[in-house]
Amino acid sequence: MTQNTRIGFISLGCPKALVDSEQILTRLQSEGYTTTAKYSEADLVVVNTCGFLDSARKESLEAIGEAMTKNGQVIVTGCLGAEAELIRQAHPDVIAITGPNQHENVVAAIHDVLPPKHDPFLDLVPAQGIKLTPRHYAYLKISEGCNHRCSFCIIPQLRGSLVSRPVSDVLSEAETLVNAGVKELLIISQDTSAYGVDTRYAPSQWKEREIPARLEDLCIALGELSVWVRLHYVYPYPHVDNLIPLIQEEKILPYLDVPFQHASQKILKSMKRPAAEAKTLDRIYNWRKQIPDLTIRSTFIVGFPGETEEDFDYLLEWLNEAQLDRIGCFKYEAVSGATANQLPGAVPEEIKTERWHKLMALQKEISEKRLQEKVGQKIQVIVDEVNQDHIIGRSKGDAPEIDGNVFLPNTKFKIGDIINAQVISSDSYDLWAE
């Protein structure tokens, strides 16, 4: 291998896949490989795929095809890699196929084609590793896999059962990131609330004290790093209530990403959702009573098998009562391997589409109202982008890529700064401040 050996890298899918990509790239750079965004400059291309929904599978296959056409030397990894036969049918000449979270297999496949050559001048990797996000924020994955068997989901088939990282490992990585300039840590997993369940909350040593591998204890320790800590994929177990005092103490942000998925008890039961029995509306009221500016984000599925008009109307009523700040919504897809495909009462596509539009229209109204209430308030904003005309940032209630923005006049501030601003106007998704 020459010193200018280059790897092209395409990363698709969710933040968990993004973290996998970062780990692979960190390993490659430590071995002297370099990366490039241009197919023509790469000696081979790695495509990290998504395989959950049919639309994502199609996008992944198209990305593999583009890499094959423009380069020809392609290694496939990620969730779609669990369906090697499907990939081989579409692209029989790919070099190798590995599944999700198989970093060693990806690197081994690269070694087979382009053996590493140690070079102490090239083998320089920052302590925080290679990041695909901007310098001022980073995703921090606390576990892999999932113990649940939701009927619409095939993640356990792709990524396995829950494996929680030792709390000392998580905190060491977090501290390294903060020391490197990260101002916001985005905590991710398949089920963040279940952190440590598989290890029975086994404690580990961190800075002369023992900390259990429990979400509440992890958040307390993360809160000591004096950066924004944002929680994603928080399933609504009863112990989530214990996070509210930590928000009040400003150890974590007033932001909870809770994947409710539906409101009808019948549909939740069919989905085999954890914590489906919880009285979620009462808990949301209680959370907001304690923290009025709490932002709650969620995802929903419409058109699930057996979903009647009554079920859907109940979902709309529930959403109107819950007044969630941000939501994402998917039309049910019969993902290959999901047990929900065997349920009776398939919903026609036109009805799925109609329900999706109704739900998103209602949410737009709710979001617009919730943001209007922020006008006149003083908020903190983290700066994501600076140009000649204005600054683009995010409030504590906005996660990168999926939520809204805050626009401010251009000033002396730089990317990563956290500034105080006053909200002067809003629309359905964004804020303007000064």
Tens of pLDDT along 395-428?
A: 999 999 888 999 999 878 889 999 999 999 999 9
Question: What pTM did the predictor assign?
Answer: 0.79
- Mean pLDDT throughout 225-239? 92
CB 251 within 8 A of CB 228: no
Cα–Cα dist 287/231, whole Å: 15
Interval 185-196: pLDDT, tens:
999 998 999 999
Interval 297-350: pLDDT, tens:
999 999 999 999 999 999 999 999 999 999 999 899 887 778 888 889 999 999
Please provide the DSSP assignment of 331-353 as one string. E----TT-GGGGSS-PPPHHHHH
- So what's the pLDDT on residue 34? 85
Return the residue matching tokens 């932002």.
295
Domain with CATH 2.40.50.140 in the chain: 378-433
pLDDT over 70 (residue 374): yes
Q: Please state, for a pLDDT cut of 90, what percent of the chain lies above it.
A: 56
Classify residue 426 by burial, with Cβ atoms within 10 Å: 0-12, 13-18, 19+.
buried
Please provide the DSSP assignment of 238-290 as one string. GGGGGGHHHHHTTSS-SEEE---B---HHHHHHHT-TTTTS-HHHHHHHHHHH
What would the two tokens of residue 114 be? 């382009």
Domain with CATH 3.80.30.20 in the chain: 137-372
- Report H helices in 114-159: 155-159
The band of 155, judged by pLDDT with boundaries at 50, 70 and 90, is confident
CATH node for 137-372: 3.80.30.20
Return the residue matching tokens 């700040």.
325
Superfamily of structural domain 6-113:
Methylthiotransferase, N-terminal domain (3.40.50.12160)
Classify strands 390-395 and 418-426 as parallel, antiparallel or unpaired. unpaired
Domain with CATH 3.40.50.12160 in the chain: 6-113
CB 428 within 8 A of CB 193: no
- Mean pLDDT throughout 57-85? 89
The fold of the 378-433 domain, in CATH, is OB fold (Dihydrolipoamide Acetyltransferase, E2P) (2.40.50)
